[in-house]
Chain A
Amino acid sequence: MLTDEQVMSELQQGRLEMLAILFERHHVRLFNFFLRLCRDRSLSEDLVQEVFLRILKYRQTYRADSKFTAWMYRIGRNAHIDHVRALRPETPIDEVWEQEPSPEPGPEHRLESDQQADLLARAMERLPLRKREVLLLSRFQELKYQEIAGMMACSVESVKVLVHRSLQELRRHYLDLQGGIS
């Protein structure tokens, strides 16, 4: 079985069909990454498609000594942030990362899930984008803090501090929402 990195090397040599292997291996996880980030199924599907298009377009910029998934999620973050910025073109990039989320969608747009998972998803939504991202990347995408630091262009220590604070803030929002319904 070829590794992701070997598949990328084939892709760089012009075997475009090899992209299918990467798609089949990663699209569900990538879709869930976006879905948990923005809670919008249709947008998440568009972003997955966009990521694979960019992988094809920028395949020659991939370096064989780096982990493929770290590179893919870097592209994914950029695709998402490009989308956010297109909605608010006047916002400077630094503020996009730190901005508070948009108002919660109505109940008809909520994902079907049990109450706890729903509470958790709503608590996640209250986190600023950067904190949501760092939790999703470190918890679900099997990326080490070192790899996330490379992706976010900051130190490993900053990533660890961010994870720590994000979890504390998530817990506060979760308990807050739980109190609101009990």
Chain B
Amino acid sequence: MNCPEAKNKLPDLLQDSLDAAESARLREHLQSCPACWQEWQELHETWSRLGLLPEEQPGPELRRDFYRMLEAERREAAAAGLRPWRERLRAWLPDLRRLQPAMQLAAAVLVVAVGFGAGLFIGRNDRAAAEKIERLSSEVGRLQQQTSLSLLSQPSATARLQGITLATQNPEPGIELRRKLLEVLDGDPSVNVRLQAVDALYLYAGDPEVRTALSASLARQTSPQVQVALIDLLVAFREKQAASALKKLMADEKILPEVQQRARAGVDLIL
């Protein structure tokens, strides 16, 4: 390898993206060429020094403003477009047969309500119609919540998974649903259901009570898969409170080494 070739590959060496043979040839050249070695040293030193730039945390307003924006966008989408209705209906209809009789009635009310709402779209510019649709939308949210809660209490794991999916589609998930999801995370006998509950709980990132409950739940989890998913969730939230729970996992001999490794990496990211 000559000097121009070597210089061209120095940035690849910084990102460690050369294959073993190329990397060996480059290093061989660097060892024999003082000028290229000097240049590499300088680049590498500056590249490493960039790591000194501190990672800052944004202010709490950013998260608050984001969730407000998201909520406003969701409301707008629900009010302006038919698509969310269609999607929600599609998610609902195949499940109607499995629902309990009371829920079948609620679902029937929903179908009628949606039909009525769709009819109102004919006079879409009408303000009164818009208000009615808004009311119907919150009605749908309530029905969805009841249905999710009912499904989450079913003996069949498939039904409980459907309950979680429905919960994540709810535009206004209530406190009861939040409590139930945390309960499922802590005590559901199925690993799949607990894993899906972890994913659903991403939606409650702005809720400090959920974040506290998640840190506490980590110690109660026995499945390595759920432990890892929960660690990822807490790290994604940058939940500082979780550090002590993560450290406990690291010290616990019963915990798998892979999980402990994840916890260790997580602590570094959080603190």
Please give me the residue from chain B that is nearest to A32 by CB atom.
B55
Interface string of A89-123 (1 = CB under 8 A from B): 00000000000000000000001011011001100
- Given A15-B169, A41-B59, are A24 and B46 also a contact pair (CB < 8 Å)? no
The answer to whether A164 touches B11, judged by C-beta atoms less than 8 angstroms apart, is yes
Please give me the residue from chain A that is nearest to B86 by CB atom.
A14
Interface string of B42-54 (1 = CB under 8 A from A): 1101110110111
The answer to whether B69 touches A111, judged by C-beta atoms less than 8 angstroms apart, is no
List residues 117-155 of chain A with CB under 8 A from any CB of chain B. Answer: 117, 120-121, 124, 135, 138-140, 144-145
Q: Is B236 an interface residue (CB 8 A)?
A: yes
Alpha-carbon gap, A152 to B255, bound state (A): 45
Alpha-carbon gap, A128 to B221, bound state (A): 50
The answer to whether B56 touches A41, judged by C-beta atoms less than 8 angstroms apart, is yes
The answer to whether A31 touches B42, judged by C-beta atoms less than 8 angstroms apart, is no
A48: B residues at CB distance < 8 A: 58, 62, 66
List residues 117-169 of chain B with CB under 8 A from any CB of chain A. Answer: 168-169
Alpha-carbon gap, A14 to B168, bound state (A): 12
The answer to whether B52 touches A171, judged by C-beta atoms less than 8 angstroms apart, is no
Alpha-carbon gap, A138 to B43, bound state (A): 14
The answer to whether B8 touches A111, judged by C-beta atoms less than 8 angstroms apart, is no
Q: Is B3 an interface residue (CB 8 A)?
A: no
Q: Is B174 an interface residue (CB 8 A)?
A: no
Q: Measured between C-beta atoms, what is the minimum distance from B71 to chain A in Å?
A: 9
The answer to whether B62 touches A56, judged by C-beta atoms less than 8 angstroms apart, is no
Alpha-carbon gap, A50 to B183, bound state (A): 35
B195: A residues at CB distance < 8 A: 1
The answer to whether A113 touches B54, judged by C-beta atoms less than 8 angstroms apart, is yes
Q: Is A53 an interface residue (CB 8 A)?
A: yes
B10: A residues at CB distance < 8 A: 164
Q: Is A2 an interface residue (CB 8 A)?
A: yes
- Given A1-B199, A160-B12, are A121 and B53 also a contact pair (CB < 8 Å)? yes
Alpha-carbon gap, A14 to B84, bound state (A): 6
User: Which of B62, B171, B198, B237 contacts A49, CB < 8 Å?
Assistant: B62
Q: Is A167 an interface residue (CB 8 A)?
A: yes
- Given A53-B69, A164-B10, are A24 and B202 also a contact pair (CB < 8 Å)? yes
Interface string of B28-69 (1 = CB under 8 A from A): 000000000000001101110110111111110111011101
Q: Measured between C-beta atoms, what is the minimum distance from A86 to chain B in Å?
A: 20
Q: Measured between C-beta atoms, what is the minimum distance from A124 to chain B in Å?
A: 8
The answer to whether B73 touches A163, judged by C-beta atoms less than 8 angstroms apart, is no
The answer to whether B83 touches A17, judged by C-beta atoms less than 8 angstroms apart, is no
Q: Measured between C-beta atoms, what is the minimum distance from B155 to chain A in Å?
A: 27
The answer to whether B70 touches A117, judged by C-beta atoms less than 8 angstroms apart, is no
Q: Is B232 an interface residue (CB 8 A)?
A: yes
The answer to whether B62 touches A16, judged by C-beta atoms less than 8 angstroms apart, is no
A44: B residues at CB distance < 8 A: 58
The answer to whether A31 touches B237, judged by C-beta atoms less than 8 angstroms apart, is no
Q: Measured between C-beta atoms, what is the minimum distance from A117 to chain B in Å?
A: 5
Alpha-carbon gap, A28 to B62, bound state (A): 10
Alpha-carbon gap, A110 to B75, bound state (A): 40
- 9 pairs, A vs B, C-beta closer than 8 Å: A1-B232, A20-B202, A31-B57, A31-B58, A49-B66, A56-B73, A120-B52, A157-B8, A160-B11
The chain B residues found within 8 Å of chain A, CB to CB, are 7-8, 10-12, 14-15, 17, 42-43, 45-47, 49-50, 52-59, 61-63, 65-67, 69-70, 73-74, 77, 83-84, 87, 168-169, 171, 195, 198-199, 202-203, 205, 229, 232, 236-238
**Closest 4 pairs between A and B when the two form their complex, measured CB to CB:** A160-B11, A31-B58, A163-B11, A171-B46
